[in-house]
Chain A
Amino acid sequence: MKIKAAFILFAFLAISSISLEAQERGVKGKVVNREGRVPIPGAKITVKLDNEIVAVTSKEGEFSLVGIPAGTYNVTITAPDFQPLQMSVKIDDFIKDINFITLVSDAPSQTIDAGSFAEFDTDLSGDAQSMPVVLSSSKDVYENIAGYKFGAMRFKNRGYETGTQGIYLNGVYFNDALNGYSPWSLWTGLNEATRNQESTTGIAISDFGVGGVNGTTNINARASQMRKGYRFSVVNATDSYRYRIMGTYASGEKDNGWSYALSASARLGGNAWVNGLYYNAFAYFGSVEKKFSDQHRVAFTFFASPTERGAQGSSTQEVYDMIGSNYYNPNWGWQDGKIRNSRVRVNNEPVAMLNYFYKHNEKLNITAALSYRFGRNGYSALDWYDAPDPRPDYYRNLPSYYENDPYKAAYIREGWLSDWNIRQINWDRIYNINYNSYSNGTGSIAGEKRSQYVLEERHIDQQDINAKIQAAYQLSSSSKLNAGAEYRWNTTSHYKKMKDLLGGEYWIDIDKFAERDFASGDVIQNDLNNPNRVIREGDKYGYNYKGHVRNAKLWFTYKYNKKNIEAYVAGEGGQTTFWREGMYRKGMFPNNSFGNSEKLNFLTFTAKAGFTYKIDGNNMVYANAAYLQTAPFFQESFVSPRTRNSVVPNLTTEKTLSADINYSVKLPFLKMRATAFYTKIQDQTKLISFYDDINRSFTNFAMSGIDQVNTGVELGFSVPIWGGISAEGALSYGLYKYSSNPFVTQTVDNSEAIILQNERVYWKDYKIAGTPQTAINIGIDYRSPDYLFAGIDMSFFDASYIDMNPIYRTDFAHIGLTPDESKILSKQEMFGSSIVLSANIGKSWYIFRNYNIGFSLEVKNLLNTQTNKTGGYEQMRLKANEDANGNVLNYSRFDSKYFYMYGTTYYLNLYFRF
């Protein structure tokens, strides 16, 4: 019925506009998407006179309505997938050109805030609570819901690692060169400047490259792409930082072809749930762009997010239960009457980028880009020499360590509950040990205090240069070819820096583990080229090496569409070379640590194809398939990168085969997408480095031959119910599991010894960790014509599994166990299901048409549930069970560590735009 009515109105309008044109009164303009300022065809413009007159925008988004008597009218602009807009227009004696009318996507993008999760990717065992699966709002009905709402439980799209999503900045691939991680932390706090995003989902190709199997997002962060005007906002929140202020100005494109944009923000304060977490984060952004002619355009962009952030550590359930809170953080202690966190991330990695756009003609567009990322990225931690482990929840400081001595267990518990210096880091004791430390060990300086405890800062400082050139050629009205060449040059320094001597005066750069085992001599030196080096604050020490990565690729995409059919093919060929360059000559490995390692070379290729069949205007079926090879990452490729050049055995490219089939419906009363997917990933490698209690040394697990299969279905729908109220929902039901028994080789940082060589890890049919494999969200949304929105939704998560310690599933660890004990050791914990209720409300007002003021408030976890596990991992330790004479009988597992979702949090945003 509705469609028919619209048609009649349209017909009426068409007639009336012809007959009334002579009067030449009316209104015209162009309707564009706020994100990317892309024209919106088919938008409906309604003017209320005695009856309604309606116009529909053309392919270029343009409309005009003529024949309206002078006066002031309410004009409503609506378009599918966009929020309706109302404005008041005064019509005088001519056709008024209201230029651009920007519509905001229907996606709940205004509630998305990169600041609250963005740093997550830098540390996998990390400390962040939630991260959205997809950051940008998209037109996809599933993605809109899943991308944001599932983030609460650290949901991973289709069970893939976060780094599998391709992130492009102004068209340049920006995922981390060393480990593939998403680079969100580079522009965290620059939400306004990076708001203009376009994304693809799953296997689909993007306009900027072939992409992978987990979608792509391109961020258009340059002057002409940002919304014109001033925007200021103040945020008060409880889930990561306390306050945020942000100011942004964009000039829009001026008559002289210039445009420029500036943005800055500060995020400050702590977290309502976990002590020791805080933000001291700033961000700035500047971009200028010049359109020289219709053919040439150049943009320069520079930004950085200098951030200092206190991190959260996980702990065991024993500790959480003892304290009575699942939000215990072992990383901090009292000092100077304040909370001091030992684990602080400090990063300041500016990015400079130059973009060039050349439009040869209507058919051929060429773009070129050059980017440079540099700066510092550090993560502090306590380090100690010949002194006890200062971490309060070290397993020997817990009641469970005294399971055979209830008297001491009770004292441990009492200590935890009564004394902050036992429950948390005892800074006072640490400083006092350093104050009185006049050691006469190797390299000591008489009369100076040699620190036994220090704060180290582990640095991963990147220098990353990307060059890209791309051409898009419209071959015919039905086919388009896109091709590009990319080169990446990355050199990254990994080292430890002495951040704080904590009341002492110096440190000696020797390997404490080697000293313990070998007492003295060259072998204990961290750098034989500078033996017994005295370290002061700011000096590098411990380890120091560079990772060099060079990557080149060529790719193309070809799209074809005709009538009811769309199809594409795409291919990519790449070459990656990387090597380690040791800056120190390690005493243990004098001939295999200093200088360049062998150069590792990998050739890779990717092929993709997709096919869409439009059954009619509202129903379509489409399918994609991809096969890709990726080179192993630098950080997974050396058995002990901190100490030597030895390469992980059996290193090879990772292979991914993936396919999906989709059905999509777009009707006035139902929007829906249903998908089934299958992905097989083979020959993955993984390097896990940790302190091994049994060998009392830093050791490394190098795993190879890890295969996995991810299959599942996705469903998203949206149904308008009545008067601005709609119901929407998303479902992801997957089965993600390992499909091989990989090998593990264990090496030690301070010895050539190979502790385990190519030991089988029985992982087949165990589950992929780190994401709920079932996730459902159902919500009710309300949007009024006068910019009021409100919503409430419920999520259900299930089938989350713990991150596994490979050793627990080796023959070695099961020696001497009964079948029942074996089962306990190898069982993978599944977390319980959880239900999360959230709500949001917002309103904005226009003042004098030009000024827009508003707020949005989101409250998460309304039920204040504090028992939802968002993640966890098995500790990399085995517990040796000994007989009375100290002989090891067998091994059992250590308690696992967990992260929990916060209780109720809110996020209140007040904004002012003009």
Chain B
Amino acid sequence: MKNMKKIYISLALMATALLGQACTEKFENPEPFKPVALTPNITIKDLKARYVSGTPYEINDNLIIGGKVNSTDEFGNFYRSIYIQDATGGIEVKIGKTTLYNEYKEGQTVYVKARHLFLGAYGGMVQLGEKSAEARYETSYIETDLRIKETIFRGATGEKVVPAQITASSDIHNGLLGTLVTLKEVTLVDQNMTTWARKATPELEAGYGEQKFKLEGGTIVVVRTSGYAKFANQPAPPLNSKVDITGVLTKFNSTWQLAINSLEGVTVLN
């Protein structure tokens, strides 16, 4: 009898040990993020207007802009920046992180508290970024986590931006820079390669593709695509194709350029 008792005690000990396996700590899932709602006190157009060509402009007052995201880096053609636009215009916000689409969705409202950020230009396009440590660049990336937390605020997600329609040369103007546009029925007149761009190979570095489209009235818009785009090696439409093509309108000095988010923005008409 005494032995039985000993066995029971020992078995109880073992059972306790086995039960213990079940008590792994559980963690509640974090709350979904709550969109921020701020009231912009300046339009994107007016903010951009503060920049005077040639000198970086430090924003010293408590300015807030707000706009919808119109670009995505999901397919690799945008890199370390987003474009946002409000009713007055669009601007590149140089958030120096990769895969920004995870947190800044197309159509999502994003606010920027711009105090102590810098306006600068690259090829004539005004960008919003951080103070640059290098003289050759007017701005640098907003890339430290703390700085992003202080300046960039994610608002509500929403419908994607409706692109402005550009059907003729007369429709295109500097006020559309940084916004999403659709070039309607444009003709591919020249290309530096038959794919949208060229991915890196062991022998060759990645290369930009340039597809030149002509608007009604003769204006040329260059669709410039990064060799890091996931669709880089996809064939571009053949020369003389007519297409509708949607992307963010930019300018490099005097050349109109368009950067597409993905091939979804391309419809070949003939």
Contacts and interface: CB of A to CB of B under 8 A. Distances in A.
B30 A427 contact: yes
B199 interface: yes
A415 B146 contact: yes
Contacts of B147: 408, 411
A415 B230 CA distance: 33
Which secondary structure dominates chain B's binding surface? loop
Contacts of B143: 408
Interface stretch (B21-29, B39-47, B185-193): B21-29
B144 interface: yes
A588 B133 CA distance: 42
A266 B130 contact: no
Interface stretch (A134-142, A277-285, A596-604): A277-285
Given A249-B6, A262-B10, A753-B202, A407 B131 contact: yes
Which secondary structure dominates chain A's binding surface? mixed
A660 B155 CA distance: 73
Interface in A278-308: 280, 282-284, 286, 306, 308
Nearest to B76: A516
A306 B22 CA distance: 11
Nearest to B205: A886
B32 A388 contact: no
B20 interface: yes
B28 A432 contact: no
B137 to A, nearest CB: 11
B17 A283 contact: yes
Contacts of B30: 335-336, 427-428, 431-432, 503
Interface in A735-754: 753
Given A422-B146, A435-B32, A519-B233, A282 B18 contact: yes
Nearest to A335: B27
Contacts of B103: 429, 432-433, 436
Nearest to A419: B146
Nearest to B108: A436
Interface string A412-434: 10110011011000011101110
A517 B145 CA distance: 28
Interface stretch (B84-92, B94-102, B165-173): B94-102
A249 B233 contact: no
Nearest to A414: B146
Contacts of A419: 145-146, 149
Given A280-B25, A432-B32, A262 B146 contact: no
B254 interface: no
A103 interface: no
A386 B99 contact: yes
A307 to B, nearest CB: 9
A538 to B, nearest CB: 15
B197 to A, nearest CB: 11
B27 A262 contact: no
Interface in A778-821: none
B10 A439 contact: no
Interface string B1-42: 000001001110110111011011101111111000000000
Nearest to A265: B17
A264 B17 contact: yes
A249 B3 CA distance: 11
Contacts of A439: 74
B131 A284 contact: no
B25 A407 contact: no
B142 to A, nearest CB: 10
Interface residues of A, number: 54
Interface size grouping (class) on chain B: 35 or more
A375 to B, nearest CB: 12
B241 interface: no
A512 to B, nearest CB: 11
Contacts of A415: 144-146, 149
B32 A336 contact: no
Contacts of B133: 404-408
Contacts of B130: 407-408
B77 to A, nearest CB: 13
Nearest to A392: B145
A441 B102 CA distance: 13
A262 B14 contact: yes
Interface in A228-266: 230, 247, 249, 262, 264-266
A463 interface: no
A282 B149 contact: no
Contact of A432 (B17, B33, B136, B232): B33
B14 to A, nearest CB: 5
Nearest to A307: B21
B140 A405 contact: yes
A577 interface: no
B203 to A, nearest CB: 12
A888 to B, nearest CB: 12
Contact of B145 (A249, A286, A407, A422): A422
Contact of A336 (B28, B145, B231): B28
Contact of B9 (A249, A386, A414, A432): A249
B214 interface: no
Contacts of A404: 133-134
Interface string A499-523: 0000100000000000001010000
A849 interface: no
B194 interface: no
Nearest to A247: B13
A437 interface: yes
Contacts of B97: 388
A774 to B, nearest CB: 42
A1 interface: no
A519 B199 contact: yes
Nearest to A432: B33
B113 interface: no
Given A266-B17, A335-B27, A436-B105, A412 B10 contact: no
Interface in B116-142: 130-131, 133-134, 136, 140
A167 to B, nearest CB: 24
Contacts of A407: 130-131, 133
Nearest to B100: A388
A428 B21 CA distance: 27
A280 B24 contact: yes
Contacts of A264: 10, 13-14, 16-17
Nearest to A886: B205
A338 B146 contact: no
A884 B136 CA distance: 10
Contacts of A436: 102-103, 105, 157
Contacts of B102: 386-387, 433, 436-437, 452
Contacts of B157: 436
A408 B140 CA distance: 10
Contact of B17 (A284, A387, A414): A284
A446 B105 CA distance: 17
Nearest to A441: B74
- Name, among A402, A414, A431, the residue most crowded by chain B CB atoms within 10 Å (CB to CB): A431
B155 to A, nearest CB: 13
A422 B143 CA distance: 13
Contact of B144 (A387, A408, A429): A408
A421 B136 CA distance: 34
B29 to A, nearest CB: 5
Contacts of B20: 266, 280, 282
A284 B18 contact: yes
A580 B157 CA distance: 49
B149 A388 contact: no
25 contacts: A247-B13, A249-B6, A249-B9, A264-B14, A264-B17, A265-B17, A266-B17, A284-B17, A335-B28, A338-B25, A338-B27, A340-B27, A386-B74, A386-B102, A388-B98, A402-B144, A407-B133, A408-B133, A415-B145, A419-B145, A422-B145, A427-B27, A436-B105, A519-B231, A753-B202
Interface of B: 6, 9-11, 13-14, 16-18, 20-21, 23-25, 27-33, 74, 97-99, 102-103, 105, 130-131, 133-134, 136, 140, 143-147, 149, 157, 199-200, 202, 230-233
